[in-house]
Structure 1
């Protein structure tokens, strides 16, 4: 999509979902959206957005009314823009899988309506005015009194938990579930995060009853059995089964997945020849530290929304497919520590980061 001006005529629009639609050339997209007087919900996941789009943002915008904003799986870099500072109505802000760096700014403390904040898989190195991510948890986290979910994984915080976190009365913590195999939950979940939980060795049968799950994180836990076939029927967009001991061939997965983490397991055998047809919407693919062998399937080149692909530390052989350069959004490709041969295609020089 090259021109986004037509959206400016939708004066009564309250919800806009353009997930997966390429807006790389529509540099006026956010500027146009910032003038919509009624907009409350914006979902722009995996749209190829970058800093150039933010530079065209309208300063005196109506984005202060937005309650839901999803900019995940894009290519934003550098500091968090002050565009967010005045978005005081935000309840959900999802910025995962970008390249934001530097400090997490103090102005996030002004967004006191937030109940869900996701900053995972960026490059933040410190919290502004406080300590680095290997230091103490900041006191200002206690300002988010409506927060229902707090995700601080993949860090090295130490020290004591600040007493200010006691203000987060809406958080549910230290939950222990002891269920029978035949248990059927009286609810339907959209997000299940059970990282490092003592579940297993097989996938729990109650999970089969969850028909609306979009995000599933069973990483670093005790499950060692292969994903059952019914996982392929779930409407997943994010699946993380990394850092486990799962063996077997590449699993049957839903075509809706856009973020897939299977790293640090014992998967073996060849990658499916039609993997690009199986999951055409993939944006993040991490298969590192497994035992996959044989050649790299050419069908990977059909994943035109791909941003990051990690195939390192496997037993893959043959040549790197030249068509990988057709993945114009991809800026990270890792294929080191395999059994690849031949000449590295010159076309891969256009990828921002290649490790092979």
Structure 2
């Protein structure tokens, strides 16, 4: 079938390798399958292939370097297999790429920095659940159209690049072009993994850097991504305070900062996140009073704040002090000695006041009689 252009053999029980004769289909534009075995290095002959989905199968071995010869490729789905090794540098020849999904494999090495230089139109970059190491390359910040970035569940180190705040697609509301999306993609949001198709994928704005070894603080520059809907930074080694202006993320629906080393109070600006429906701040070192306005009235699950012993207020059992200074001190947290000292001071002040009042009244009367003898 030399003129065959579209082949979909997905959701079957086929086994074995992709037949080498498939390389003769030079007019192929769309290939969708769920096979197993090793991916053959036959892709140099596919001159017009723009969609390749060989995800969710049992492929093993490396990503064939000949995939880099697919100059028209826009959608490449390689996720959900057992692919190993490093990402071939030949993929930087795929300059028309819109979606690159290599998640849920066994890929290793550094994240390819050339993605940010060679694929300027990239909308989705997903490498979730691999073994990538090293720092997050700053070149990714050049992808002005990027709106789904999933680097979670790897072994990345270093700080979160401040330049991620330059991702303009997440800063400005743009006109959506649904024709630039094909296939389906799994995205973590609202505490679970959800699958989106081309008809529901384009409005999703997500930044997921969870389950790595990232350190340093949360860059304040991230709070300029006003169109961001999901921000997941959980299970890292992040320190410092939650940015005070995090309330600028007006479209945020999911915020997960759990399992880090964050300190300080929950910023008051977070009550401005009126679209927020999933929040997780557990297992940090946060302190002070939990906000109670707007969306925080719906966050009545104590596990949202679990592990931060210095937090107080609803929905926790620990009540805040009457002073309302937000420092997290509570009557139940004081030592017995501190209470005794407080009681003694109050009694001493009472006796001093009574004694002083008595002498003032006494001498006010007797003193005047002594001066005016008549």
Q: Which has the higher strand share?
A: 2
Asked which structure has the greater CA Rg, the reply is 2
